[in-house]
Structure 1
């Protein structure tokens, strides 16, 4: 494995840990499992030399003053616990606070049955909102039919576990590696029926070198061109959504949800499309950077994010 490792080169096998946490959650109170996140975080921190190095590099870019790689990795362990809590129905919507932003527009779109695309990131907890939505706790009048686009090779085991935890979950998986004309038509059909498509915008593909280099935390970083091209092809209202723990470390978490609508649409001549694709990506990155600075310990992209650029 090279020194500059991308996320798809790292074996991501948290399924056993998730299964164990779900087993513990069935026996003990949720607060007990959250307490266990700290020794789990210490284990990752103590034996993850490369993870510590990547965490340190990110923290020096995003924050001023004293920072702690241990706190960063422990925050990630808490995030894993909260994933399981949300899918097991142990996290209530009353613990979520919406901001005075574009959430009203998002809810109005969903209530009206208009297809919506949500672009998430590895900042904060995206699984929490999908878990709440599957329980019918989304804050909308209509139950959301969610289609998640992700690398099936990486996420299939995790999704199988989620289906075991919550067989009534209402989200479908589309493999990001198989997107073609037929997949686009499938997604468009689901959007026409009022569905919600969810995709992460902050991890490059393992199957293409076509990426966008955009300034992020004062250096060039690579973001996936294909994600933003997909937004152009789907032509649906698009929102950037992040759920961030109000306090980085607490046994009784409350979340702040941030919703930012992309001001651009893709009802434009084809010659303008590329410029709008890049501008949409830049809008996404600017929003991501602002939120990273608010809660630097809740960014969970533990790979060489700034490697492979011309910076």
Structure 2
């Protein structure tokens, strides 16, 4: 941080990166800015360990720096901040892990898009509960995330709405139509995450739609071509132009962090407070920042 995906939720490079202040509020066009993002050298990365994990899938970090990642068999593997393996969850039924959300303080959400099922794990990767979205939703969920208040946001691709559920009831608590926002475009929604009282919906075609924590639309960030994003402190980050792009959420500045590996080898990057994780087809490299 999705229904049967055509491609994994890995960061995809885009050909151009918008300037930092080209943030478009509702109903307005983005204004160009001449200033280029600041660049930081790859020397900031210090390799500390490597995790052998062929074709790693979607992944997420919790606030303690624990890493959760789906392997090629759709097991959920848990690693310590330095790359030490801790636990593994193997589902009793096969299913494709489309998203893992570990930012919540007590629970890890795992979304199986092919089964339209949500699984909640505890901090030891042990199952807590399951929720079948087919029992709650007339349509197909494309992306989902867990709020700090333990409610669940999801994107219903069938009717183009953002919905929030209370899994303890369960019942629909909020509903935000998206048809007026996207107009006649053909959106490709890939990722959903609530962070610092805002909800971020990644549309690979149009950019990143930003809502408040009640589902009210605020603005759109013009970063197209993405399939996932991450957050670190007050910055949003993603892979583009062969580097990690970091966009400050409040002062709208942008900086670029060069990769320690050839960009063609990098499938995904996660940034924690003390460690960073670079995903390749062979596994995960753990770096000290």
TM-score (norm 2): 0.26
Q: Could you say which structure has the higher strand fraction? A: 2
Q: Could you say which structure has the higher helix fraction? A: 1
TM-score (norm 1): 0.25
